[in-house]
Amino acid sequence: MITVEGKIKGKARPRFNTRTGHAITPQDTVNYENWVKMCYKEQHGEYLEGALQATIIAYYKIPPSYTKKRVQSIREGKEYPCKKPDGDNIAKIILDSLNKIAFDDDKQIIDLRVIKKFTEENERVEFEIKKIESVKLL
């Protein structure tokens, strides 16, 4: 698993410059994509070809304002982080960052799973990209 420490970001929509007509990616999105690239290169760095499977786990820090009862409910697996960013935007920023770094294009991802969990440790995203050797039809 590759670990990307820090606040979880989702892919932000590009902003359009009405004067030039060009789309501009927000700077915080660019910074996070660069952080993901660096983490991948340092922790794994393998270039993958063919059909791929991606598992992305977003760990949200339990807010300190939560009551002891609510924290206990989280520990027992009764409450989950149904909060922003959306799972699809988390996947988008991670996979777009890895284009030409971990694989040629994220269209190679044929099996994708995004999981959102609470943690009492540091907020982070962990992900794994694996080559699929064979696919079973349903």
Q: For the domain that residue 44 is a member of, what is the CATH number?
A: 3.30.1330.70
Total domain count for the chain?
1
Are the C-beta atoms of 51 and 72 separated by less than 8 Å?
no
Backbone CA torsion sign across 95, 45, 40, 87: positive
Q: Is residue 20 part of a domain?
A: yes
Model pLDDT, residue 129: 95
- For residues 96 and 133, the answer to whether their CB atoms sit within 8 Å is no
Residue 65's domain spans which residues? 2-131
Angle, CA of 60, 64 and 69, to the nearest 5°: 95
Is 120 contained in some domain?
Answer: yes
What percent of the chain is helix, strand and coil (3-state, nearest 5)? 30, 30, 45
Look at residue 83 and tell me if it is in a domain: yes
Is the separation of the CB atoms in 36 and 76 below 8 Å? no
Question: Is 100 a domain residue?
Answer: yes
12 part of a folded domain = yes
Residue 108 in tokens:
């190679």
- pLDDT given for residue 33 in this prediction: 94
pLDDT of the chain, 138 residues: tens digit per residue: 999 999 999 888 878 877 777 888 888 889 999 999 999 999 988 999 999 999 999 999 999 999 999 999 999 999 999 989 999 999 999 999 999 999 999 999 999 999 999 999 999 999 999 998 876 666
* pLDDT for the residue numbered 137: 60
Residue 137 lies in a domain: no
Identify the pLDDT of residue 136.
Answer: 67
Query: What pLDDT score was predicted for residue 85?
Result: 94
Please check whether residue 14 lies inside any domain of the structure: yes
